[in-house]
A = this chain, B = another copy of it.
Amino acid sequence: MALPKRVLIREVGPRDGLQNESAWLDTNEKRAWIDLLAASRLPYIEVTSFVHPKWVPALKDAKQLAQSLNKKDDTTYAALIPNEKGLAHFFEANLDVGAMFISSSETHNKKNMNQSIHETLPVIKQMTADLKAEGRNTRAYISTVFGCPYEKQVSMDQVLRLTDILLSYGIDEISLGDTIGEAHPLQVERRLDILLERFPADKIALHFHDTKGMGLANIYTALKAGITIFDSSSGGLGGCPYAPGSSGNVATEDVVHMLQKLGIETNIDLPALIKAAEWIETKVERTLPSHCLRAFHSHTT
């Protein structure tokens, strides 16, 4: 299959990256970083999660941050919403896209949401209805799609079933997550073969981690299957802080650089993106795993 002409990048660094970092940024610092990301013309930035600070203390300023953003017209500002309480904060902050979360592994969902998949689904259904009633766009993450730390394999039937249910709620976009960085390109090929027979490609985003170095191999494979939406994180932020140098989310710079090489349009300013990654690297005070951050930095110093 031919490569797509255009791709949309969903920047998840300020939410998915920071929630996994040991370094804490204050609200002004987060806002400054989000401004740098928006300046690179990223079309979507997930700025925070309206989760209880007991669970993710690094994002305890979610409301203050979301209410004080310097919003740009051509950027979509999103936040993760775990429950109805978070939804109220989301509406107060007046963000554009509400992202919800479920796991395709029962054990992983229990550990993350403290409830079963069966219990999570109606919560998502209600929040989706509320979000749509207010004219907001919606997104849902399905995690552990390519492997689970507890249950190992996750069946394709389960992934299809959940995708089907979530789309039936009217959710605009489903992001399938390789939560533990276990996906390999042959698996991606096989799972997408089945998935895209049933669902349109423009409803499906993929969320890869670069833990074993296969992030871009998986994205290239997905591009060839027709996927045009990918999640990534500035600098490759995220991952396990207790394993120095371990890679979390695939780095936005690496994805955008490869897309440019492939002649695929993203409308993103790569040098500006590198600047944003350089900035956050100084704040988290560790060498981030992004390849292009290193490669391009070495040319300029």
* A residues lining the B interface (CB < 8 Å): 3, 181, 184-187, 210-217, 219-221, 240, 242-247, 250-251, 254, 257-258, 261-263, 287, 290-292, 294-295, 297-298
Contact check, B262 vs A212: say whether CB atoms are below 8 A apart. no
> What is the count of identical protomers in the complex?
2
| Neighbouring B residues of A291 by C-beta, 8 Å | 210-213, 247
Q: What distance in Å separates the Cβ of A2 from its nearest Cβ neighbour in chain B?
A: 10
| Neighbouring B residues of A213 by C-beta, 8 Å | 210, 213, 215-216, 250-251, 254, 257-258, 290-292
| Neighbouring B residues of A294 by C-beta, 8 Å | 243-247
Contact check, B295 vs A212: say whether CB atoms are below 8 A apart. yes
Q: What distance in Å separates the Cβ of A231 from its nearest Cβ neighbour in chain B?
A: 16
| Neighbouring B residues of A287 by C-beta, 8 Å | 244-245, 287
Contact check, B292 vs A212: say whether CB atoms are below 8 A apart. yes
Contact check, B243 vs A295: say whether CB atoms are below 8 A apart. yes
Which one of B217, B243, B244 lies within 8 Å of A216 (CB-CB)? B217
| Neighbouring B residues of A254 by C-beta, 8 Å | 212-213
| Neighbouring B residues of A258 by C-beta, 8 Å | 184-185, 212-214, 217
Bound complex: CA A287 to CA B294 (Å): 13
Q: What distance in Å separates the Cβ of A298 from its nearest Cβ neighbour in chain B?
A: 3
| Neighbouring B residues of A187 by C-beta, 8 Å | 261
The residue of chain B having its C-beta at the shortest distance from the C-beta of A298 within the complex is B243
